[in-house]
Every structure is written in C-alpha cells, then in structure tokens.
A and B are shown apart, each in its own frame.
Chain A
Amino acid sequence: MAKLPLEGIRVTDLTVIWAGPYAAMFLADWGAEVIRVESCQHFPMYTRGLWMKPPEVFIKDRVGYAAHKKPGHDPNTAHNTFLLFNAHARNKLSMTVNLRTPKGIDIFKRLIKVSDVFIESNSPRIKEHLGITWEDLKEVNPRLIYLSLPGFGGSGPYKYYRALGAHQEGFGGHTYMRGYVDEEPTATSTIYHTDEAGGINAAFAIVMALYQRQKTGKGQYIDMAQVEASIPHLAQAVMDYTMNRRITERMGNRDFHGAVQGCYRCRDVKGKWVPGGMGMPPMEIVDTWVNITISNDQEWQGFCRALGNPDWTKDEKFSDSLSRYKNHDGLDKLIGEWTREHDAYEVMHLLQKEGVPAGPVLDEKDAYGDLHLRARGFFEELTHADCGTHLYPGLAWRMSQTPNQLRLPPVRLGEHNEYVYKEILKVSDEEYAELEKEEHIGTEFA
C-alpha cells in the first residue's frame, strides 16, 4: 500500500495569516506532519482573529472571511473558530511556546533539530529579532529546508514593508488592472491573489527542495516574496509592456484575448438572507449571475442555436469575431435580456450542450449544492471540538495511487502540546508541568 507522498516529513510552521499557512496546508494534506508553533503570549492579529477574546457584540454582525463561527460563541475559544484560520488549518498540529524567552527559543531549536522543513511568512524583522534566521538554524540542522515567505522577500528596498495580500496586489500591478471600467478605482474590491500564488509556489518550492535533498542530502534556504510569486500570473500585461510599452488598463470582465464575454444577470431567486447589524438592515440576496465566453464562430453559432436563432443574432454587427468584439456593448445588452429570463444553471446547461463555455457565479450555498462537486465527493465532513460537525472544502487535486481525504479538523491552539513535547521532544512529566506553569504550554491567549 502506497503512503501519502509526504508521510514521514516533519514541518515546523511559524506562518501567519494566509499565504504561509496555505503552503503548509498543502504539505499537511499530502501527509506531512505540520506543527504550528504558536505563543499564548502573542495574539497573531488576522491569523487567529481580529481581536483577542472578542465579545459577541464584536462578531455577531460580521460576515465573510474575517468572521467567526457565531452559534455558541465563546470569547475564550474564539481563536479556534476564526474562518480565515479554519480555512487552512485542517490536518495540522499545534503547539505553544513563548518564543520571547531564551527557554522558548531553546525548545523551538530542539524541534528544528528533528524537523525536515521550517516555513515562516513573517516580516523579516521577526526572524532576525528572535535569532532564528537560516544562519542560526542551519547550525542546528544542516538537512533543514528553510523557506521564508514574506510579502517582498529577504532583500531590496521593500524588504521590511508590511502589507496584506490586498496591498501586495497593488505593488504587483494587479489592482490597477482590476474592476469596473466605468467606476472610480476606489470602488474596486479587495482581493488576495498574492496569498494564493505565494502559498502554492511555496509548497511547490518545498517539495522540490525535498526532492533535491534525496539526491544531495543537504538542506537549503529558500527566499520567496509573495508578490514575485504572483507577477508571472499577469504575464500578458507584463509582456505587452516590455514588448510594446503599452500599459494594460482595467477591462472589467472582458477578455484580454478578444473573446466576447461577460457576467450576465439571471432570474432573481428568493430566500438568501444576510443578517444586518452595525446600523445596517438585514439584506436579502436575490440576484444571480452567469458567465459566458464566446471565443470563435463555432461557439457563436452554438450560442445562437441555444437561443433558438432569434433575429438579432443574424445582425451583420455580430457576424464575425472582430465585429462582435467591436459591438460588445450592444451584444452584452441582448445577451443580458435573454439570461434575465433564465436560471444561471439552466443557462450553463443550454449553452454547454451547444459547445459554448458558460457557468453560473456560485455563491457558498450554490457551491455546497453543486451536483458535480457532490458527484466527485469534494466536500468532506470534519468534527471540531469548538465548532461541531460540518462539511469543509476538500482536496485541491486527486492522486490514483495515494487516495486521500481530510484527516484532522482545523487545529485548536495548543491542541497537540502533549504529543509534541512528550513524544517528539521527549520532555518528562515533571518538566511538562513546569512548562505549563511557566505558560509556555497553554490553550488560550493571555
């Protein structure tokens, strides 16, 4: 029976917020023993909440990625119910140690000694301040793979700049090119693509370094910048500038490569409520949307067939790709009139049957109900001590010889202290009691 690819690999994980933890998630999902090192003395804002021990009034009206689980809210365990954290924390272990003490650093180094990988995503100041740079740790473990994933990397004028993914997007050129063409840039939503790109690339780098270590027997230092991991994803715009000195401007939902495409409103639905609060009334979401892309004549003909060849589709203005692109606004209006009469999934099926790329904009409820994801068993059930039993998004890909599933629920602060200290670090019961007394070991922030 084949083992998961990374079974037997131990990762010491000092990552924060999203990009670093996302990299560690991939390693944990595919078999590595990922140990999050956390400190009860340091509440990591954004990583485990916006506030330490938030009262119910702080959290009850917040919706979206920076919210907590609301039913049964308990301020003392709120760090275990934060959505931003619980998204990536499955399959990981957590230990606590006060890294601001020499003893804490000593414990940390003992863990490094028996680890294969160390990953961190803090401002470079932190590792310098704590004395846990590559220079410090390679002495402890020369086989260690040490990956740093700050926003801007370990050198250069922005080295110490502090920025969330949202601001890194701006540095990397992404935000400038996003959003509605006919609105002020201040109306553009915040996204976090650098977290996604940084996390995926960091995990890729680590597995590649493990592969190389099989050949050389040596560890190494990997210097990453979340922004640099994401810039190659914008290649068309970069190359248009370097080849033609053309600055790519906002395009809304239109296609860089000249296909006709857009996001069109479908028939309204009822019954999706967002709670109000903070001076806002509750809101009912009724609008639904479908995306359609028509790249060539064949797809255009399929589109016309799906609509029953109405007269307007025969207009000369839409007869070939170039004229369709030139008359994009007019075409959008006509497509939108048709989609408005239909359900988003219905549009997908009508168009896909004729070979036209189309798909609904799925909100969270739609995604959980989606028949394709259900057929593939994408969502998986996990039971979490503070959150209960729920379906979670599953694995990002499948492998035939190493079938896999989610194993552990999002990790609670200090949940594996006993295992890490006693079984990995071989700490005695007496010593363990002392570490508890010294508040290295704990399950709450203080």
Chain B
Amino acid sequence: MAEQALSDVKVLDLTWYISGPYCTKLLADYGADVIKVERPGEGDPARKMGPFLKDDPHPEKSGLFLHLNTNKRGITLNLKGEWGKTILKELVKDVDILVESFRPGVMASLGLDYETQERINPKLVMTSISNFGQTGPYREFKASDLIIYGMGGSMNTSGLPEREPTKKAGTAVLFSAGNVGALATMMALYAAKTQGIGQHVDVSLFEAQMCSIDRRMSDLIGYAYNNEITPREDPRALIAYPFGIQPASDGYWELSGIGAAWPAVGKMMGMPEVIDDPRWKNIFAQMKPGHREEFFAIFIPWCFEHTKKECIELGQEAGVLCGPLLNMEELLDAPHFRERGFWAEIDHPMTGKLTYPGAPIKAEEMPWVIRRPAPLLGQHNEEIYCDRLGYSRQDLIKLKEAGVI
C-alpha cells in the first residue's frame, strides 16, 4: 500500500466536543501523527455524549467520541498549572500543526497564544476553531449546532411557512465546520511546505455556515441582487410538480420530475399518455386550477403500488433524478456502500469490533487507514512523556500526583 499523504505530519490536538476533533480526525485518518490532549480525570466532554454501546454511559464507550478520535494518541495534561504549560511548550516545539477549539482568549490566558507559540516554533500552523471567530462582538458567545445553523446557515428557508424553521439532522453543521477547519489547516500546511511560513488560521463556525453552498450563499446573493428574502415554502404546494418527498408502499422517496424531466416521469410510471396530456405538458398548464389534484390522483396510487426501491429503479432507468429515504438500517445494508468498502470495522479494547463510517475520500495513492482506535483516557501518557519528551517513569508518577496528567 502507498504511504499515507500526511505520514510526515505531527499534530498537537487541544480540541474537544465535535468540530475540532472532526478536523483532527481527518488529518489523523490520512496519516498524521495526532496527539490528543485531554483534561485529567474527565477528558473530552464528548466522552459523556451518546450514543453509548448498549446504552452504558461509560467514558470509553461513547460512539461519538470513538468516531471522532480514530488514529489519535491520547495524553492527559492539566493546562491550568505552570507545569502543564511548560510541558505543552515542549510538545509544541516539534509539531507542524496545533489545533485548538477553546473560547477565544483562553489560549492567551494560558500564555499559549499564537505569538508565544510562534516564537517557539516559527513554522507552526495554528488553527483556532471557534463559534464566532477570534475577533468581533460575538467572539465569546456560546452556541450549539442549532444556533450556528440558525444564524449562519439557511435554516430560515427550511420548514413550513406557518411553522418554526427546522434544523439538519444530528449535529451535521458542527461536523461540516470541522471539515472546513481541516481544509483551512491543509491550506496552511501546504503554504508551510512550499513557502516555509507558519500562520494562525481563524475558523469561525458562524462564517463557515455563512459560506455554505447548501442554499445560503445563493440566497444571500439573491438578496443583494433582487432585494428579496427567500421564504419557507410548503414542498407539497410548489408550483411545479412532481417534486419533493413522495410516499411508497414501504416508506418514502424523493424526486425532481419538473421542467425538462416531465417526459421521464411518464416513462417511469409506464404511462406514456401522461407525457402529452394537455393538463400537465408545461408549467403553465400544470398551474391551472385542479390540474395538480388530477395528476396526484394518478401519481399517488402509482407510488403506493411500488416499494421505494422500485420507484428509484424505475425512476433512474427513465432518467428521473430521485432517491429513497433510507433509514440507518437500510443505509448500513445498502449494497452500494458495502461493495465500495465504505464501512470500517474497528476493534477497541472496551467495545470490541464495531462498524464505523469510513473514508470520505478514496485514493489508492493516498489511503485512508485505521492504524488505531480512539485512545483510552491517558492511554499514551508513558509513550509520549517518557519516549518523546524524555521524562522518567518516576517523573510520571510525580506528574500524576500533582494532578498534571
């Protein structure tokens, strides 16, 4: 197998929760040597977030934490004491990248701001991932996935017009921001490699969403051009049809059968006669009173006669853009992702073998490899403190007694 792309890259990871750890996971999964620093005792708060194996809320059994921290080595270090700070400075000396996701100002209050780090290691790439960025009036504000999406993303256009706007599933927005963090870090690393410069990268979750291609940028430009705000619309009442989520005999599926795709819809249904029917042949005909109801009086029974899989297969064959609404069981069973080897089996001392989401990017010359599962709390203390920094086993005991690690 080819060498991993980032096998020569050393990362010091001071992040916690979701966005920061997802950023460093991407680097680790493509080969970087990532040392994750956790608070002694409790560790990363993500260890307390579910889902847990067999619903046992054990800090080594959080599926979220296990997913976010693959391929990292873990140490504990109390950054609040002088000793901890000294050790951290030793660790920064020979890393290429430092990623942190504290509230802005915390690194400075620890005496670990970029200016200080830069003096220790001038080629250092330091990435700070925060809710609202390192500057500006909201810089210290708290947030959540929901709040970032509401402020930054296109939540205002998601949902029904008469009801509250709706979010994405889970914490997709926080993962997305971590993904942007990894991209920004990679850009800086490339500049370090080609130009020999280090720098401080300021990633704001708010602005990463403000730059989301998922409708937000287009809607913003629409306001600039046309002075119009995009409203929420009922997907069942859109002027052109068929569009959006439809029922099937065993669940739901989604299609876009509007405009030029109309003939393909007739083909999909095996009803060529609907294609040229004057009631639906173009948008102006479709808009006439009663025509929608007359179309759905044929279409919905057709949907109920088919499973969602059949709808999709017929639709794809006819050239209709469409997809099923798969639940997690169906997603894990789907032959496509299995055949592509997307899912990863990862063994872990506390949970045994489990299936995880796999490589977001596949490249033979740049493989995604699981070299180790997420670290147990403090699992690599001895390896890092003794073998890398040269502390003795006795020093380690003293550090432990002093609450430093």
Contacts and interface: CB of A to CB of B under 8 A. Distances in A.
Contacts of B86: none
A364 B355 contact: no
A337 to B, nearest CB: 14
B64 interface: yes
A185 B252 contact: yes
Contact of B363 (A63, A193, A223): A223
B326 A156 contact: no
B229 A272 contact: yes
Contact of B146 (A200, A253, A363, A376): A253
Nearest to B339: A156
Which 9 A-B residue pairings sit nearest by Cβ, starting from the closest?
A239-B63, A167-B323, A364-B223, A65-B218, A87-B217, A240-B51, A233-B175, A293-B144, A401-B199
A176 to B, nearest CB: 5
Contacts of B354: 239, 242-243
Contacts of A360: 150-151
A71 interface: yes
Given A170-B254, A237-B328, A247-B329, A399 B212 contact: no
A372 B222 contact: no
10 contacts: A63-B226, A163-B323, A178-B166, A189-B159, A191-B154, A235-B357, A363-B230, A364-B220, A368-B223, A400-B200
Contact of B231 (A185, A202, A274): A274
Interface stretch (B77-85, B182-190, B394-402): B182-190
B388 interface: no
A259 B142 CA distance: 14
Interface in B175-224: 175-176, 179-184, 186-191, 193-195, 197-204, 206-208, 210-224
Contact of A5 (B141, B188, B366): B188
A225 B351 CA distance: 29
Contact of A6 (B190, B199, B208, B365): B190
Contact of B156 (A201, A248, A280, A361): A361
Interface in A220-252: 220-225, 227-248, 251-252
A130 interface: no
A209 interface: yes
B19 to A, nearest CB: 11
A174 interface: yes
A348 B167 CA distance: 18
A200 B328 contact: no
Contact of A186 (B197, B206, B210, B252): B252
Interface in A261-299: 261-265, 272, 274-275, 278-280, 283, 285, 289-293, 295, 299
A63 B230 contact: yes
A356 B222 CA distance: 33
B391 interface: no
B404 interface: no
Given A253-B166, A255-B146, A278-B239, A236 B190 contact: no
Contacts of A274: 228-231
A214 B194 contact: yes
Interface in A295-348: 295, 299, 348
Interface residues of B, number: 156
A211 interface: yes
Given A211-B6, A211-B190, A255-B145, 20 more contacts: A64-B219, A83-B221, A163-B321, A186-B246, A188-B166, A191-B214, A207-B187, A215-B8, A220-B366, A221-B365, A232-B22, A242-B354, A244-B55, A245-B329, A363-B230, A364-B222, A371-B137, A387-B225, A393-B221, A401-B198
A3 to B, nearest CB: 6
Interface in B236-295: 236, 239, 244-247, 252-256, 259-260, 287
Contact of B157 (A25, A189, A222, A367): A189
Interface in B337-367: 337, 339-340, 342, 351, 354-366
A421 interface: no
A118 interface: no
Contact of A365 (B49, B66, B229, B234): B229
Interface string B118-149: 00000000000000110111100111111111
B172 interface: yes
Contacts of A18: 213-214
Given A178-B168, A180-B163, A235-B357, A390 B221 contact: yes
A210 B365 CA distance: 12
A40 interface: no
A339 to B, nearest CB: 11
Given A157-B339, A221-B364, A190 B193 contact: no
A186 B303 CA distance: 13
A195 interface: yes
Given A164-B256, A397-B207, A263 B321 contact: no
A180 B166 contact: yes
A256 B330 CA distance: 20
Contact of A241 (B148, B181, B329): B329
Contact of B224 (A45, A202, A392): A392
B356 A156 contact: no
Nearest to A45: B260
Contact of B327 (A84, A173, A263): A173
Given A188-B235, A204-B361, A364-B223, A235 B184 contact: no
A187 B236 contact: yes
A127 interface: no
A200 B179 contact: yes
B158 to A, nearest CB: 5
A156 B362 CA distance: 13
Contacts of A251: 169
Interface in B303-326: 316, 319, 321-326
A205 interface: yes
A400 B52 CA distance: 40
B363 A205 contact: yes
Given A50-B259, A164-B321, A257-B50, A240 B328 contact: yes
Nearest to A211: B190
Contacts of A87: 213, 217-218, 220-221
A195 B215 CA distance: 10
B324 A171 contact: yes
A222 B363 contact: yes
Contacts of A204: 26, 179, 182-183, 186, 361
B331 interface: yes
A428 interface: no
B170 A222 contact: no
A253 B164 contact: yes
Contacts of A160: 316
B110 interface: no
A166 B320 CA distance: 13
B226 to A, nearest CB: 5
Given A207-B186, A211-B190, A293 B146 contact: yes
A222 B362 contact: yes
A155 B339 CA distance: 8
B369 interface: no
B332 interface: yes
A435 interface: no
B42 to A, nearest CB: 14
B66 to A, nearest CB: 7
A396 B180 contact: yes
B151 to A, nearest CB: 4
Contacts of B147: 291-293, 357-359
